[in-house]
Amino acid sequence: MDPKPDRSTVLLAPSRGGGAALSFPPSGSRPGRFPPVDEHIVMPETTRDEMIRGRKVVAQPALEPHADLQTSLDFLILPHVRPGYRPSTELLTRVSEGSNFATDLSIRREGQDPATGRRFLEEISFEIVNEQSVRDVVEKAEDLAERGVRRVFAIFVKRREVCEWSTEKHAFVPLLLDGMLEDPCFVRPIAVRALLDAQNAELEVVRALERKGNTELAKLKESARDEGRDEGRDEGRREALRTLLRARFGEISADADARITGASRAMLDAWILRLLSATMIDEVFAEP
């Protein structure tokens, strides 16, 4: 009699259609034993096939709603990640012997996990859901949480909803759009609405860069303050010139007032000097 097959071996079993279907031991059937986190079981980066619990899923190229939101999400999260952590797009994570898939965005600690000698397991993962089946998203969340991922988020494009996986409720729980997403991986809380809206994402990115002490942003802010101070000084020159002209020559014409409003700092200084010796207002504004 042939020996019974080892449960760790991939088995071929008849499918409903009469062909062969892959069968794998259920996730979690061997507590404490997981495959290496970054080991492929499909040809790496040459196929769009994913494996979820032994079931092959073709990850099709994204349509505009998914692709656009993916770009916005990457843009938003990158500057918010605290030093010592690393965000990645489409990073492979093995959660069981029958898995080979990646989430849209993930965050992990930098360096190697001393317990495995490989990269650290991500702490946060984000999945953008547009055409993807709910079954696939739920099974990914279940398996990621079982493997040890701290937080699993799904952004449902059509529902305009950001959800977090709850192991206790065994479901994705919606987050308040007016709320904030806080985590030790981030330098500051992120507005939940920014995960769905590119304009809000831009504001959050500026705030994150400011929190990180970005030097270029600091230079821009200082330059803007300098320009504001300079503009204030120029406005003071204009008011001083108007006051002196009225004291010497009476009310000034609308044309003269318009010229003062549009004049450069150098021209204002030149007119103030001419005013000291001018006998009539036209001498102040005369072309040199």
Task: Note the pLDDT tens digit of each residue in 144-153.
Answer: 999 999 999 9
Residue appearing with tokens 């494996």: 51
Rounded CA gap, 130 and 2, in Å?
47
Predicted pLDDT of residue 27? 46
Section 96-110 average pLDDT: 90
Count of C-beta atoms within a 10 Å radius of residue 188 = 15
Count of C-beta atoms within a 10 Å radius of residue 86 = 18
Claim to verify: residue 119 and residue 176 sit in the same structural domain: yes
- 208-221 tens-digit pLDDT: 998 888 777 767 76
Decide if 75 is inside a domain. Answer: yes
Asked if the model's pLDDT at residue 29 lies above 70, the reply is: no
Section 227-235 average pLDDT: 73
Decide if 166 is inside a domain. Answer: yes
Claim to verify: residue 241 and residue 121 sit in the same structural domain: no
Claim to verify: residue 191 and residue 257 sit in the same structural domain: no
Choosing from 211, 226, 250, the residue where a domain stops is: 211
Rounded CA gap, 164 and 4, in Å?
42
Q: Residue 201 belongs to a domain with what CATH number?
A: 3.90.1570.10
Choosing from 211, 237, 257, the residue where a domain stops is: 211
Domain that holds residue 244: 216-285
Rounded CA gap, 265 and 43, in Å?
67
Predicted pLDDT of residue 44? 62
The crossing angle, in degrees rounded to 10, of helices 215-249 and 198-211 is 100
Claim to verify: residue 89 and residue 204 sit in the same structural domain: yes
Decide if 21 is inside a domain. Answer: no
User: What total number of domains does the chain contain?
Assistant: 2
Choosing from 170, 194, 211, the residue where a domain stops is: 211
Is 77 in contact with 105 (CB distance < 8 Å)?
yes
Claim to verify: residue 89 and residue 130 sit in the same structural domain: yes
Section 30-41 average pLDDT: 71
This prediction's pTM? 0.64
Which of residues 2 and 288 earns the better pLDDT score? 288
Nearest one of 237, 239, 240, 287 to 266, comparing CA atoms? 237
Claim to verify: residue 79 and residue 195 sit in the same structural domain: yes
- 114-136 tens-digit pLDDT: 998 999 999 999 999 998 888 88
Claim to verify: residue 228 and residue 176 sit in the same structural domain: no
Claim to verify: residue 141 and residue 237 sit in the same structural domain: no
Rounded CA gap, 98 and 121, in Å?
17
The residue type found at 283 is E
Claim to verify: residue 203 and residue 244 sit in the same structural domain: no
Which spans in 120-214 are helix H? 134-147, 198-211
- Region of 248 on the Ramachandran plot (φ > 0 left; ψ -120 to 50 alpha; else beta): alpha
> Contacts for 58-63 with beta carbons within 8 Å, 24 or more apart?
59/101, 60/131, 62/130, 63/130, 63/131
